Amino acid sequence: MWERQRTEVRQIAGAIAFETVMRYGDALARSPHAEKTMETTAERVATAVARAVAGERVAHAEEIVRSARSAALETATGAAEEVAEKTAARLTADAAAASLKAAREAVEEELKDAWEAFEESREGLRRSVGRFAREEAARVIAEIAAETVPPVVEVRVAGAPGPVRLAGHAHAVLPDVLLALGAGCHVLLVGPAGTGKSMMAQQAAEAFEQEFHALSLGPTTPMSKIFGYYDAHGHYHATPFRRAFEDGGLMLLDELDSGHPGLLAELNQALSLRSCAFADGMVTAHPDFRLVATANTYGTGGDRQYVGRQALDAATLDRFTIIEVPVDEDLEELIALAHAPARPDDTRRVIAEVRRLRATAAEKRLPVMFSPRAAIDAAKLLQAGASVEQAVRWRVVRGMSAAHRSALGLAEDEG
């Protein structure tokens, strides 16, 4: 008897649950909990689908939207039904105390109308989620494309047959650099360490489809590194500068304000007259010879951060178009995130700390530096498995004095 009664209770409880889903389907589907579930589901599905094809530069956007909508419809509808079933279970506990006969009669009486109402709610749910999924997929696709498909820098140069184009993430001042080089000017990039000055020179060579040559200058860099030399057997040895000057190419003279004043003075003739006395004779510059120099100061000598820099002669500075290269924080973040694809949240934490320290150091005029290179190297450490604390300690605040740590608001053990 008890077994038969338990069976009957289960049957009636199941019927009540089913009737509840039918009767309250529309309301449940529109409840805040269900709406949040649908939004989360649709966003997750759309994101997954968009990211799956982001490497293909989002070539089939319509197909992505259709896939995201279909997946979101199926998943979100199931989620809404799950909410309805959970609510039904709660209501069943109250209804079970009522008469089994009354419950059966109520179910039979309202089953037909409840089913029709639920079908209408399902159709409305499909339309609502489909619209949301389509809009969400379009938004996610745009975001993924912005993150994964590098923009194209395009600059029109007077006299050029077409615009100069360069694909890839680039510093905000790169168009200015391309414009100045395209106008035939020698360019001096001035800015803090790690802001991408040398990288811009490489990108400029790529944009102009030129061979790239580079030389870093220092107080002891000899003349022969620039102008070449004869060895003991009478053979002339050319240099990267000679090849760029004579055959055409883009020459990078890195750390110009660290070079010896005498060496820089010898370059003045080549830069102004486009004619240079090399070890084996006079050479006229190729029409496509371009030169980019970098410096951390404006030629005024050492300062609190760059104590070893040389003062640049006014005659040397007069040969250059000077472009300031500040920290490009958007580029800093893009490159750092690219180096730690598995740790984006931790990378953003490190970037935020680097920027806080950078702002504090600038405000208090401290002789310490927090360049984008620090954030990028810290991201590499994160990707390799280091913790956020280790990455910051090893790369960002390493070697600082107690006084500087205190001024920056760092705990004693963070140095």
> pLDDT per residue over 16-30, tens digit each?
555 554 554 555 455
Q: Mention every residue, 6+ apart, whose C-beta is less than 8 A from residue 8.
A: 100
Q: What are phi and psi of 322, to 5 degrees?
A: -95, 125
* For residues 22-47, average pLDDT: 54
* More reliable by pLDDT, 408 or 151: 408
Q: How confident is the model at residue 381 (pLDDT cuts 50, 70, 90)?
A: very high
Which residue type is seen at 185? C
Helix axis angle for 372-384 and 344-364, nearest 10°, is: 150
Other Cβ atoms within 10 Å of 188 Cβ, number = 26
Reduced to 3 DSSP states, what percent helix, strand and coil does the chain have, rounded to the nearest 5? 60, 10, 30
Give the mean pLDDT of 317-323: 91
Q: For tokens 């912005």, what's the residue? A: 146
What does the mean pLDDT of the chain come to? 75
With 0-12 / 13-18 / 19 or more C-beta atoms within 10 angstroms meaning exposed / middle / buried, residue 167 is: middle
Q: What is the pLDDT of residues 141-185, one digit of tens each?
A: 555 555 555 566 666 766 566 676 766 678 889 999 999 999 999
Residue 75 has pLDDT above 60, yes or no: no
**How do the domains of the chain map onto residue ranges?**
2-148, 159-324, 329-414
Give pTM, 2 decimals.
Answer: 0.62
Q: For residues 327 and 143, give the distance between their C-alpha atoms in angstroms, rounded to a whole number.
A: 24
CATH of domain 159-324: 3.40.50.300
pLDDT at 411: 72
